[in-house]
A and B are shown apart, each in its own frame.
Chain A
């Protein structure tokens, strides 16, 4: 770790003021990602602005029947909140599939969105990495890339976004509320994270002096037909190779609305509205699930070690949609995949 100064923000305006004043400062919330990366000398902030005590830790129903989740609500509180368990069980399930009980107690909602990739080269300051050192090259291309992306990659970076929670938020069509010097704004979840393109050093469209204040969920929670399936190298406490959030609204065997988002496959939680559209109006059966999977994976591209993800994702999509349709969501405890 390099030395840094520490300051605590008292309110959101204070936090924005402090971050605007120092271009090398960073917010810290749960610290589970930032402290890790600082110990690796990957993140080298001059100043940490502690936002963990800001009053952004509540979960409240919104006027339009949705839910507003403060950016500092710990992941575990969110997962076990009665309104989330009842109305957005997909979100609860995705959160519980991630990290460990301890880390979920620490991690904040906002921090989870902004966690950085687990690409080994990004972490290893000895090796080239465009995300860490723009222009130095991407070591994962032509290197060890088992966990890397198959969709939306660029020749500059093939990293994935590692979050589980965000996959559910993408599927649920959440909105991200942020505050900056110019005031408040909201972003569609899909616009929050970005693809690597020519600037893989930038993970999101959050501006450097903006703070995430809340996540908003629309009323529709898909509480009846959903599933979150996380496929990984051991049965817990491991990042996803591929994860799938599926949510359906059924009407007599036919699909009225579908949501489908994938984790572990791209630089952002990967939602594909064309695949969802293809499901709409169809029967909830293998044939339509398979078609949706094909659409979603149409442009998928494998690298030396991760090509298996394409087929894994295809089978996983069909499986998760089946679980959702049959109202037998994946349990995060009993590891049997039903």
Chain B
């Protein structure tokens, strides 16, 4: 049986397909951009829109550093092709705070020292925002499990859990 998608093997370069215009509502701002089919949402944010708050830690869905909210749901932007999200609402770490105040999660992360190097932090924050919106985590065990898609090599996990509890208002 023929294998799909395994056709092209020669060493000759394949012509690059043209860029495709899309529009995204990024942190509340309607944004038009042109992307190649292979551009991920992560690279579109970081390279095309210069929103470098969203991080690349693996580019393969293995670390969670690239977590953003797409139409309110947390996803790994490194495995999301930007063209597929034409018309979507995207929230990144840059869109969490309002003009006057940090998002309660951001403040809680500072209060609980829920990071060290800070590189996983934007992903942790967006993931935590998604977690709270989903409403499936009530106990620390549930928070731990549902935040396990965000690696923190600095090992800030217990403080991350405490910060999320504070933001959920389940912690004094």
Q: Interface of A with B (CB < 8 Å)? A: 1-6, 23-26, 28, 30-32, 35-36, 38-39, 43-46, 48, 50, 52, 76, 80, 99-103, 105-106, 134, 199, 201-202, 207-208, 235-237, 331-335
A6 to B16, CA, bound (A): 12
Are A102 and B81 interface neighbours, CB within 8 A?
A: no
A86 to B146, CA, bound (A): 21
Given contacts A31-B84, A334-B141, contact A102 B75 (CB under 8 A): yes
Chain A residues with CB below 8 A from B17, complex form: 3-6
Q: Can you name the residue of chain A whose Cβ is closest to the Cβ of B140?
A: A333
Are B4 and A208 interface neighbours, CB within 8 A?
A: yes
B103 within 8 A of A: no
Binds A, one of B59-67, B113-121, B164-172: B59-67
- Apart from A3-B17, A6-B37, A103-B61, 16 more pairs, CB < 8 Å: A3-B15, A23-B2, A35-B81, A36-B61, A45-B4, A46-B7, A76-B73, A102-B67, A102-B127, A102-B149, A103-B76, A202-B1, A236-B145, A237-B148, A237-B149, A237-B151
Give the size category of B's interface with A.
35 or more
Interface centre among A36, A39, A101, A235, by most B CB within 10 Å?
A101
Are B79 and A101 interface neighbours, CB within 8 A?
A: no
Given contacts A31-B84, A32-B61, A237-B148, contact A106 B37 (CB under 8 A): no
Are A52 and B79 interface neighbours, CB within 8 A?
A: no
Q: Interface of B with A (CB < 8 Å)? A: 1-9, 14-17, 20, 37-38, 40, 59-61, 64, 67, 73-76, 79-81, 83-84, 127, 130-131, 134, 136, 139, 141-142, 144-151
Are B7 and A44 interface neighbours, CB within 8 A?
A: yes
A92 to B139, CA, bound (A): 19
Min C-beta distance of A180 to chain B, whole Å: 13
Given contacts A101-B131, A333-B142, contact A106 B76 (CB under 8 A): yes
A106 to B88, CA, bound (A): 14
